[in-house]
């Protein structure tokens, strides 16, 4: 027992971890998600499906209003599913960060962009964690899911939370568990993608594992938040480096007069020791083009020079300019100049069958063509409007008359809804960066 200096008995606090574990098991835990984007909203929905009462927090008023109206803006969340749970009052959204005070678990799923200097921008994480600090109470589980560099949870998040006077592992519980969402993937989603968890203490890890076990099929435990943070960076750096190799092979094959797509298709018939990656007009999305810079920044802070990772980023960053040059060369063969030519881009999203244009290489290609004097247009069934060079442009209909009016059509995003047979039949010139027209016998198709 403990006593005050005056000799009075000090009431012992309830065992916060056991109380929280009980709430998680019987679904009485009030769970919350900060950041209702392509990671946070699907996560919240999986929690709701398993019987939890969920509060979503986002500073974006439009997102909050959409969620409360049962209207989804995330490809992987059907509006009808969201609406059914909103109607049952199982999920609600708010802009008020004070809602954290009434929550038992808080998952932070906010953006982690790059500054113009290619350095990590943790401003969204810090803002979210400071809001949690302002309303932190005993027994809460805080989970950071945003992609970041190793050390963020321990060196940035923990000091802010412990400034409240509460102690991690005793009064509150802190974990890093990287998001691994692949927007638009019909095979893998929040539920069946294994969840990596690394807590500040073993009990932190156990409680987070208990929470995720309620709605994720497989849990993977690691020894620390730093290991969990590094897992996500390794995954995306692996893809970045291998895509860079595929892109460099494309550049070499172009010099040698070899079809790089034929080479890759033949190489992947080897049943071991090879994994196929494909070239393209450049990288896009929030993760693969961004995460390696988080890793290289942290490496340089520790006097390590990550040469391979940095070189891969350089190679990939060259691909939009190379694509522009291929369009210029293709037009030149037709005795046309890039300047003044009418060019139609097929797709501006960063990947097929999504509406996500973040870091999209397709937009960089469009900008490069525009700066060379081309009249650029685009068609994308998932992106009806696009902010481009200070103005808003609209997607145009993909019809034969439009194709015939263009000097060149550039396939930048291989959406499955495009009618590629029509594109091949009515376009005078096509630069195909995705190899979707590989079966076309026309001389009007130029591969990357």
Q: Is the Cα dihedral 129, 132, 134, 140 positive or negative?
A: negative
How far apart, in whole angstroms, are the C-alpha atoms of residue 446 and residue 278? 17
Q: What is the DSSP letter of 344?
A: E
Q: Which listed residue (253, 287, 408, 447) is catalytic?
A: 287
Instruction: Respond yes or no: is residue 447 known to be catalytic.
Output: no
Q: Which CATH superfamily is domain 16-223 in?
A: NAD(P)-binding Rossmann-like Domain (3.40.50.720)
Rg from Cα positions in the chain:
25
pLDDT score for 153: 98
pLDDT score for 441: 61
- Is the domain covering 249-447 a CATH 3.40.630.30 domain? no
Domain ranges in the chain are: 16-223, 249-447
Residue 174: strand, helix, or coil:
strand
pLDDT score for 14: 52
pLDDT score for 3: 39
Q: What does each of the 448 residues of the chain score in pLDDT, given as a tens digit?
A: 443 444 443 344 458 899 999 999 999 999 999 999 999 999 999 999 999 999 999 999 999 999 999 999 998 899 999 999 999 999 999 999 999 999 999 999 999 999 989 899 999 999 999 999 999 999 999 999 999 999 999 999 999 999 999 999 999 999 999 999 888 888 999 999 999 999 999 999 999 999 999 999 999 999 999 999 999 999 999 999 999 999 999 999 999 999 999 999 999 999 999 999 999 999 988 788 899 999 999 999 999 999 999 999 999 999 999 999 999 999 999 999 999 999 999 999 999 999 999 899 999 999 999 999 999 999 999 999 999 988 999 999 999 999 999 999 999 999 999 999 999 999 999 999 999 998 776 779 998 8
Helix residue ranges per DSSP H, 108-259: 123-134, 152, 158-162, 202-213, 225-256
How far apart, in whole angstroms, are the C-alpha atoms of residue 416 and residue 436? 10
249-447 shares the fold of 16-223: yes
Residue pointed to by tokens 């790059």: 114
Query: Which strands sit side by side in the sheet containing 195-199, from one edge to the other?
Result: 91-94, 53-57, 30-34, 105-108, 141-144, 173-176, 195-199, 219-221
């Amino acid at each position: 027992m403990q006593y005050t200096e005056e000799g009075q008995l000090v009431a012992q606090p309830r065992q916060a971890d056991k109380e929280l574990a009980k709430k998680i098991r019987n679904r009485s835990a009030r769970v919350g998600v900060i950041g209702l984007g392509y990671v946070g909203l699907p996560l919240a929905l999986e929690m709701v499906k398993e019987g939890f009462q969920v509060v979503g927090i986002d500073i974006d008023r439009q997102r909050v209003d959409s969620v409360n109206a049962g209207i989804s803006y995330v490809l992987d969340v059907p509006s009808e599913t969201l609406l059914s749970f909103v109607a049952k009052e199982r999920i609600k959204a708010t802009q008020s960060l004070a809602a954290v005070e009434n929550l038992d678990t808080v998952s932070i799923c906010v953006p982690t962009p790059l500054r113009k200097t290619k350095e990590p921008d943790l401003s969204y994480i810090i803002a979210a964690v400071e809001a949690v600090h302002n309303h932190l109470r005993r027994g809460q589980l805080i989970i950071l899911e945003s992609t970041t560099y190793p050390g963020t949870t321990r060196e940035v998040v923990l000091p802010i939370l412990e400034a409240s006077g509460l102690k991690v592992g005793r009064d509150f519980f802190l974990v890093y568990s990287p998001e691994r969402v692949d927007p638009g993937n019909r095979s893998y989603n929040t539920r069946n993608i294994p969840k990596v968890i690394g807590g500040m203490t073993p009990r932190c890890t156990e409680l987070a594992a208990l929470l995720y076990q309620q709605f994720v099929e497989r849990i993977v435990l690691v020894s620390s938040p730093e290991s969990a943070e590094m897992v996500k960076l390794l995954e995306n750096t692996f893809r970045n480096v291998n895509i860079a190799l595929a892109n460099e092979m494309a550049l070499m094959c172009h010099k040698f007069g070899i079809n790089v797509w034929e080479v890759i298709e033949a190489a992947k018939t080897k049943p071991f020791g090879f994994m196929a990656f494909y070239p393209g007009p450049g990288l896009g999305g929030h993760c693969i083009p961004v995460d390696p810079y988080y890793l290289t920044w942290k490496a340089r802070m520790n006097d390590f020079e990550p040469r391979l990772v940095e070189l891969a980023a350089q190679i990939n960053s060259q691909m939009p300019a190379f694509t522009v040059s291929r369009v210029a060369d293709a037009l030149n063969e037709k005795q046309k100049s890039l300047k003044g030519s009418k060019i139609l881009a097929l797709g501006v999203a960063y990947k097929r069958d999504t509406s996500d244009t973040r870091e999209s290489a397709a937009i960089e290609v469009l900008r490069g063509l525009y700066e060379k004097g081309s009249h650029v247009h685009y068609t994308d069934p998932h992106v009806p409007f696009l902010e481009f060079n200070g103005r808003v442009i609209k997607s145009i209909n993909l019809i034969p008359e439009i194709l015939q009016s263009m000097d060149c059509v550039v396939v930048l995003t291989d959406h499955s809804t495009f009618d590629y047979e029509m594109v091949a039949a009515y376009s005078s010139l096509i630069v195909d960066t995705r190899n979707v027209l590989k079966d076309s016998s026309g001389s009007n198709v130029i591969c990357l």
